[in-house]
C-alpha cells in the first residue's frame, strides 16, 4: 500500500533536510521512494541528485513533458521530481505545484512507488501549496517547527489547513518534528503547543553538525556519513514517520497562540530551576 507524506513548516526551518534524509533512509531500507519538491527554488532533491534537475514547469515551457524529462533517479534509487515555478516576481508558484501533481498523476508515477514524500514551501497559503493535503496525495502531514514564535505561528496555520482538508477526506496530521537548529534548544514550548493542539511531537531532532557538512557536499547525511549517529537519527525518524497514523488537529485562535508564546518566554521549568 502506497504511503503519502507531506512535510510543511516555516521557510528555512529544515523541511527539505528532513524530507531528503528521510527519503534516503527509507530507500536504504529497500522501499521504492519518490521525493517531490514543491518549491520554485527546486532545491529539495539537491542532496540526492547533486544538482538542480529539470523541473516539471521547465519541461512544460520547453514542450517536452514525459517521464524521462521530469523524473530523475538519485542516490539509493530515490526518484526525484521538482515542480519548479515561474521567474521571480512573475506568476504563481502554487500553480506550479498543482501542475506538477497533475502531471505525476497522468504519468502514473505516484502509483509506482511505496512512499511519496512532498516537501512543501512555507505555510498553507493557497490552493496550490495545499494540494498535497487533498485526498489521493498525502495521507499524513508532518510539521517541522521550533520554539521560535514565527515557526509556531506557521505551524498553527498549517494545522488550520490540515483541519479544513481533513473534513473532506484529506491528509491528517502525523505530528510535529521539533528541529533543534542550535546546540542548545528548549523543547518545552513545542511540547506545550502540541498538547494544546492535540497532536504528538513525533521526534525532537537534535542539533547535527553533519547536516551542514553533508549539504555542503550536496549529499544526504545517510550518504555522506552512513555510519554516524546522525544517520541513525534520520533512520529512526523515517521509521516513526512511516508508522504515524495521524489525527485531526485543533488549531489555536490567534489570542490563545500569543498567550502560549508569552507564557513560554520564561517557561515554568526554568523558573523552578529545572
Q: Which domains does the chain have, with CATH numbers?
A: 3-267 (3.40.50.300)
219 among known catalytic residues: no
167 is catalytic: no
Q: What is the pLDDT of residues 61-99, one digit of tens each?
A: 899 899 999 999 999 999 999 998 766 665 566 677 888
Instruction: Give start and end residues of each alpha helix (H) in the chain.
Output: 15-28, 46-49, 56-62, 67-70, 93-107, 149-166, 188-197, 209-216, 221-224, 229-243, 254-264, 268-271
pLDDT in tens, 249-272: 999 999 999 999 888 766 554 544
C-alpha to C-alpha distance for 5 and 173, rounded to whole angstroms: 10
pTM score of the predicted model: 0.92
Which stretches of the chain drop beneath a pLDDT of 50?
Answer: 269, 271-274
Residue count of the chain: 274
Q: Any catalytic annotation for residue 15?
A: yes
Q: What is the pLDDT of residue 2?
A: 84
Round to whole Å and give the CA distance between 59 and 111: 21
Locate 201 and state its grid cell: 511531537
DSSP state of 79: E
**Which pLDDT score, from 0 to 100, does residue 91 have?**
59
- Helices and strands in the chain, H and E counts: 12, 8
Which 3 state secondary structure label does DSSP give 175?
A: strand
Quote the pLDDT of residue 267: 53
Q: Active-site residue among 58, 75, 123, 139? A: 123
Q: Tell me the CA distances in angstroms from 70 to 15, 42, 101, 133, one per residue in order.
A: 22, 12, 11, 22
Which pLDDT belongs to residue 96?
75
* Residue 160 bears catalytic tag: no
Q: Using an 8 Å Cβ cutoff, are 6 and 52 in contact? A: no
Instruction: Provide the 10 A C-beta neighbour count for residue 181.
Output: 16
Amino acid at each position: 500500500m502506497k504511503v503519502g507524506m507531506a512535510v510543511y513548516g516555516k521557510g528555512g526551518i529544515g523541511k527539505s533536510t528532513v524530507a531528503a534524509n528521510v527519503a534516503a533512509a527509507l530507500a536504504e531500507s529497500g522501499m521504492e521512494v519518490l521525493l517531490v519538491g514543491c518549491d520554485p527554488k527546486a532545491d529539495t532533491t539537491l542532496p540526492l541528485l547533486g544538482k538542480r534537475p529539470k523541473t516539471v514547469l521547465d519541461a512544460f515551457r520547453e514542450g517536452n513533458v514525459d517521464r524521462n524529462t521530469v523524473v530523475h533517479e538519485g542516490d539509493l534509487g530515490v526518484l526525484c521530481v521538482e515542480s519548479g515555478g515561474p521567474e521571480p516576481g512573475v506568476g504563481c508558484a502554487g500553480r506550479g505545484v498543482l501542475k506538477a501533481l497533475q502531471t505525476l498523476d497522468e504519468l502514473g508515477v505516484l502509483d509506482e512507488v511505496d512512499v511519496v514524500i512532498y516537501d512543501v514551501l512555507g505555510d498553507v497559503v493557497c490552493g496550490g501549496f495545499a494540494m498535497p493535503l487533498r485526498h489521493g496525495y498525502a495521507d499524513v502531514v508532518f510539521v517541522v517547527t521550533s520554539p521560535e514564535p514565527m515557526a509556531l505561528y506557521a505551524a498553527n496555520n498549517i494545522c488550520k489547513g490540515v483541519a479544513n482538508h481533513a473534513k473532506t477526506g484529506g491528509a491528517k496530521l502525523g505530528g510535529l518534528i521539533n528541529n533543534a537548529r542550535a546546540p542548545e534548544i528548549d523543547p518545552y514550548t513545542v511540547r506545550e503547543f502540541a498538547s494544546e493542539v492535540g497532536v504528538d511531537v513525533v521526534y525532537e531532532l537534535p542539533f547535527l553538525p553533519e547536516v551542514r557538512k553533508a549539504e555542503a557536499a550536496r549529499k544526504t547525511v545517510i550518504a555522506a556519513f552512513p555510519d554516524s549517529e546522525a544517520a541513525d537519527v534520520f533512520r529512526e525518524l523515517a521509521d516513526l514517520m512511516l508508522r504515524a497514523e495521524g489525527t485531526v488537529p485543533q488549531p489555536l485562535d490567534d489570542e490563545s497562540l500569543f498567550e502560549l508564546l508569552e507564557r513560554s518566554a520564561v517557561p515554568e521549568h526554568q523558573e523552578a530551576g529545572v
